[in-house]
Amino acid sequence: MKRLHGHLRLRAAPVDAMRVPLRRRWMIYLSFAVLVATGAVWLAVHWSRASDELPSRLEPISMKIHGAAAMFALFVFGTMFYAHMLRGWRAHHNRISGGLLSVACALLVLSGWGLYYLEADALRAFTDLAHSVIGVALPILLWIHIVRGRRLAARVRSHRQAQ
């Protein structure tokens, strides 16, 4: 308990700087929601048609919107990198869920690149699977990260008030 208090006191100041400004938070939610929704539409349509059937028009349309949302998401990550991710990492705030979320985002960007440029072979099939699985898990990772982050911030603030 003593150690926990020491830990919280040490890190009491920077946790306020970790709050994500409201407008930027909505940019994250919007880009993630469009990415997940268009990815889910593509998966549902693609996997429900027979392999010899022509692709539905929904497939290219959902990917066009997905690609646009992916570029917007890259911009949003850029705004988060120094102010939120690096600062939180250095201050040891919410490292596990934040690190996992950051790795998931980086893998999505990397596999997204692969989906654009890899030929249809085993590596592309693996990239496709990895991208879809991480993509579906993304909202859960974000949710866990926010819940844990807010809990940590509340603990730090109540500790500060008690002093």
Point out which residues bind ligand HEM (CB under 6 A): 15, 18-20, 25, 28, 35-36, 39-40, 42-43, 63, 66-67, 70, 73, 77, 80, 84-85, 88-89, 93-95, 98-99, 101-102, 105, 108-109, 112, 115-116, 128, 131-132, 135-136, 138, 145-146, 149-150, 152-153
Of 30, 29, 62, 32, the C-alpha closest to 44 is 62
Distance CA 70, CA 73 (A): 5
CB 102 within 8 A of CB 85: yes
- The smaller minimum CB distance to ligand HEM, of residues 8 and 146, is found at 146
CA atoms within 13 A on the CB side of 149: 23
Output the smallest distance, CB 153 to ligand HEM, in A: 3
109 burial type by CB count under 10 A (0-12 exposed, 13-18 middle, 19+ buried): middle
Output the smallest distance, CB 23 to ligand HEM, in A: 12
Output the smallest distance, CB 56 to ligand HEM, in A: 13
- The smaller minimum CB distance to ligand HEM, of residues 28 and 56, is found at 28
Distance CA 124, CA 138 (A): 21
- The smaller minimum CB distance to ligand HEM, of residues 58 and 128, is found at 128
